[in-house]
Chains A and B, each alone.
Chain A
Amino acid sequence: MRIYNRYIASLAITVCLICIVLAALDQDDLAVYFTLNVTAYLVITLLYAYLNPRTRRSLKALGMTFFAGFLVVVALKVADILQG
């Protein structure tokens, strides 16, 4: 299996596993699903460091977008806690 297919397959399997496990644990907070999926994306992308430079640049830009979403979720949670 080529490295790009391996990368997509591992990402798809991890994301599905996260959704299944959290659903089995009766998790009903969408922010938890999103945060864990973004973390999995960032970790797996970091592990595939051998991808060619053009792809790495595109994935880095995408990772930054997902991370911005992650920060928004964290900010909302913090605001929620501060407001009591």
Chain B
Amino acid sequence: MDNPYRLLGVSLCAAGAIFAPVSYFVIGSVAMTALGISAVMLGFTCIALASARAPVSSEACELMLQTGMQNTAALLEELELTGKAVYLPSTMADGPGRALVPLSDGQAILRVRGKVPARLIVRYGLGPEEMAVSVTTPGAMTIQLLDTRPGPTPADIEAATGYILTGALDIATSVGVRMTDSTVEVEVDGPRLGYEDAWYYRCLGSPIASIAAAVSSEALGHPVRIKEESQDRGRSRITLEVLE
């Protein structure tokens, strides 16, 4: 019984199951009996929460995330790609949303034409230099956790991002979203996955920024680029640029 919620739940259930009848029949206190019944209720709730923990350990999950990120980083470094990635919604890509990193040095992707195939090297425009490396990101994969496609309002994006980061993945405390014409600003409180000054993060952003970008892109139906990302006193600020 290595799950702390299950351990707490079983302890509360056992304590409540003993305490409630003793309080009712021996002590004769209704309030104490109610407290015993409440302990049983809380115990069952804790046991239900035990299922929230993944069957694999968090260390194993982190190991797999690091492996995937290092493989992508090796590819980016080998090709010496320094451009910022553009996150595509699922409507503009085959399969789950993907991220495009421009192949031409110093060139930024301004517009993506048509549907991008699920291949490694793809063409995103008509020009000969409009080629990019298409990769799957943590953000693109987490979109599958959403039951429905989020709406295009800041409240919808905030709800969807909050659901993924604070509820489903439990890697942040809260999320706030502000939106202007072509910019989405996301503030994440208590992020448990930080930003590192590494090649992968400079191109594709941190996993949290990747999730924010993927959700915003899916919600708005437009490609999105991580313009800026900073972390300060337990708060992560991510500025996203919405492209045409």
Chain A residues packing against B (C-beta within 8 Å): 1-4, 7-8, 11-12, 15-16, 18-19, 22-23, 27-30, 33-34, 37-38, 41, 49-55, 58-59, 61-62, 66
Contact = CB atoms under 8 A, between A and B. Distances in A.
Interface of B: 5, 8, 30-31, 33-35, 37-38, 41-42, 44-46, 48-49, 51-52, 145, 147, 162-163, 166-170, 173
Classify the secondary structure of B's interface with A: helix
Contact of B38 (A8, A15, A54, A62): A15
A34 B49 contact: no
Contacts of B30: 27-30, 33
Contacts of B38: 15-16, 18-19, 33, 37
Contacts, number: 90
Contact of B31 (A23, A51, A61): A23
14 contacts: A1-B173, A4-B170, A8-B49, A11-B42, A18-B38, A19-B34, A29-B30, A30-B33, A30-B37, A34-B37, A49-B163, A50-B168, A58-B51, A66-B41
A50 B33 CA distance: 32
A30 B31 CA distance: 8
Contacts of A11: 42, 45
Contacts of B41: 15, 37-38, 41, 66
Contacts of B49: 4, 7-8, 55, 58-59
Contacts of A23: 31
A30 to B, nearest CB: 5
B8 to A, nearest CB: 8
Contact of A12 (B34, B42, B145, B170): B42
Given A27-B30, A54-B51, A2 B170 contact: yes
A75 B51 CA distance: 33
A55 B34 contact: no
B55 to A, nearest CB: 11
Which of B8, B33, B34, B167 has the largest number of chain A CB atoms within 10 A?
A: B34
Contact of A62 (B8, B45, B52, B163): B45
B140 to A, nearest CB: 19
Contacts of A50: 162-163, 166-168
